[in-house]
């Protein structure tokens, strides 16, 4: 939420992906630094060692600390030759938009380190319930969206370099701009290590808490009798929340009770409230706000949709959990709306 600030300037060559020129479902490939990434690229027969997908306001990627969403501002590009952008053909844009939704639904899964290694030896035949690695996540998001990137290869067998060779994904020019074109302040040197930068972000706190919450009820969830419409066990908190209204109330209610108690105690319902309120009250609109306004609109719309979804859950399964989640997303949506109004009212 906060504007970029820096105690010391970074390299003037730092570039960022221009969100105005990215499309939903765009796949970004990266050749990371260090021996591990060099090894991955070598054994998978290509230049790249990592993949991520654009979901409209940020990227979704699977890293050792879990599947996470990451703002474009925290993805610095110093050597463009180490990066590539892939995009579906225009006639598949609807699938790409759906893939972005599917990728976001995979957030808060854990990282499947063993699965990423097995791609070069004996790939898994099916995804683990709650773990993903980077290129698997991208391929699975598209598969769930109805567009198969590889006709004869399942997502757990897909490597970053295979994505580069998919007949469904076409290379396009990197939409990069100097960081100075997007932010008035010098790009923070501490953001050059995006893993370290992420660990200090609100998104990291939310992800860690979501995984902890899911772990508290995982044993109970394993005993669920799953409906035909949802035969796959939930792998993360998002999955579980969408599944609970479909489960027999005798099984679902105790899990919802436990989640409500744990969410209340951990402060889950107020993770962003204080940060958003302080930002809205203290910050004065700047030119950078106009750059962030489209992302805020996306966030507002997403929270409104979530609020409506929880109203539907309440009708299917009356429970206080849905009322609390509806109130939380309603508050977030209102706060983002207030930020947008502040931008629109600025001369």
Residues 276 and 156 in one domain: no
pLDDT given for residue 8 in this prediction? 45
pLDDT given for residue 3 in this prediction? 42
The pair phi, psi for residue 32, each rounded to 5°, is -70, 165
Mean per-residue pLDDT over the chain, rounded: 88
Residues 250 and 309 in one domain: yes
pLDDT given for residue 7 in this prediction? 38
Task: Tell whether 289 is covered by a domain.
Answer: yes
Dig out the tokens for 254 from the structure.
Answer: 């105790």
Task: Tell whether 4 is covered by a domain.
Answer: no
Residues 169 and 38 in one domain: yes
Task: Tell whether 2 is covered by a domain.
Answer: no
19: closest CA among 337, 300, 291?
291
CA distance 310 to 109: 21
Residues 196 and 154 in one domain: no
Of 114, 148, 182, the one marking the end of a domain is 182
Residues 195 and 252 in one domain: yes
Residues 318 and 256 in one domain: yes
Residues 273 and 134 in one domain: no
Contact 326, 314 (CB under 8 A): yes
Query: Could you tell me the residue range of the domain that residue 295 belongs to?
Result: 191-345
The pair phi, psi for residue 152, each rounded to 5°, is -120, 25
Contact 346, 289 (CB under 8 A): yes
Of 182, 200, 232, the one marking the end of a domain is 182
**Which residue blocks in 145-201 are alpha helix, DSSP H?**
160-164, 179-182, 194-199
Task: Tell whether 116 is covered by a domain.
Answer: yes
Residues 176 and 210 in one domain: no
The pair phi, psi for residue 50, each rounded to 5°, is -150, 155
Total number of domains constituting the chain: 2
Residues in the chain, pLDDT under 70: 1-12, 184, 274, 277-288, 347
Task: Tell whether 6 is covered by a domain.
Answer: no
Tell me, what DSSP letter sits at residue 172? E
Residues 65 and 166 in one domain: yes
CA distance 299 to 293: 10
pLDDT given for residue 281 in this prediction? 66
Residues 112 and 249 in one domain: no
Residues 33 and 177 in one domain: yes
Task: Tell whether 263 is covered by a domain.
Answer: yes
Residues 34 and 161 in one domain: yes
pLDDT given for residue 5 in this prediction? 42
pLDDT given for residue 9 in this prediction? 46
Contact 29, 163 (CB under 8 A): yes
**Which residue blocks in 192-319 are alpha helix, DSSP H?**
194-199, 202-222, 237-243, 249-266, 273-282, 287-316
pLDDT given for residue 2 in this prediction? 36
Task: Tell whether 9 is covered by a domain.
Answer: no
pLDDT given for residue 198 in this prediction? 85
204 to each of 54, 138, 141, 195, how far by Cα in Å? 18, 20, 21, 10
Of 141, 159, 182, the one marking the end of a domain is 182
CATH number of the domain bearing residue 65: 3.90.1720.10
Neighbouring CB atoms inside 10 A of 231's CB total 7
């Amino acid at each position: 939420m906060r504007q970029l600030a820096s105690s010391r300037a970074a390299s003037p060559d730092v570039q960022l992906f221009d969100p105005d020129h990215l499309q939903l479902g765009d796949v970004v490939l990266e050749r990371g630094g260090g021996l591990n990434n060099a090894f991955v690229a070598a054994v998978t027969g290509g230049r790249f060692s990592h993949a991520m997908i654009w979901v409209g306001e940020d990227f979704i990627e699977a890293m050792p600390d879990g599947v996470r969403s990451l703002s474009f501002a925290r993805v610095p590009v110093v050597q463009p030759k180490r990066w590539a952008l892939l995009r579906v053909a225009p006639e598949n844009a609807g699938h790409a938009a759906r893939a972005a939704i599917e990728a976001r639904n995979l957030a808060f899964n854990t990282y499947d380190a063993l699965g990423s290694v097995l791609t070069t030896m004996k790939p898994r035949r099916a995804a683990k319930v709650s773990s993903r690695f980077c290129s698997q996540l991208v391929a699975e998001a598209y598969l769930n969206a109805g567009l198969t990137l590889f006709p004869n290869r399942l997502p757990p067998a897909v490597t970053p370099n295979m994505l580069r060779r998919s007949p469904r994904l076409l290379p396009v020019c990197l939409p990069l701009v100097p960081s100075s074109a997007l932010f008035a302040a010098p790009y923070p040197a501490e953001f050059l290590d995006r893993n370290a930068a992420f660990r200090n972000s609100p998104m990291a706190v939310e992800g860690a808490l979501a995984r902890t919450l899911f772990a508290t009820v995982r044993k109970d969830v394993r005993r669920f009798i799953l409906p035909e419409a949802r035969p796959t066990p939930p792998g993360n908190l998002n999955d579980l929340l969408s599944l609970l209204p479909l489960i027999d109330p005798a099984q679902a209610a105790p899990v919802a009770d436990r989640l409500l108690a744990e969410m209340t105690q951990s402060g889950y319902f107020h993770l962003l409230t204080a940060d958003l309120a302080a930002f809205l009250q203290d910050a004065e609109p700047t030119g950078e706000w106009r750059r962030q306004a489209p992302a805020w609109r996306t966030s507002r719309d997403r929270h409104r949709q979530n609020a409506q979804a929880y109203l539907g859950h309440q009708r299917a399964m009356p429970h206080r959990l849905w009322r609390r989640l509806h109130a939380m997303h309603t508050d977030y949506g209102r706060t983002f709306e207030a930020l947008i109004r502040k931008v629109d009212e600025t001369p």
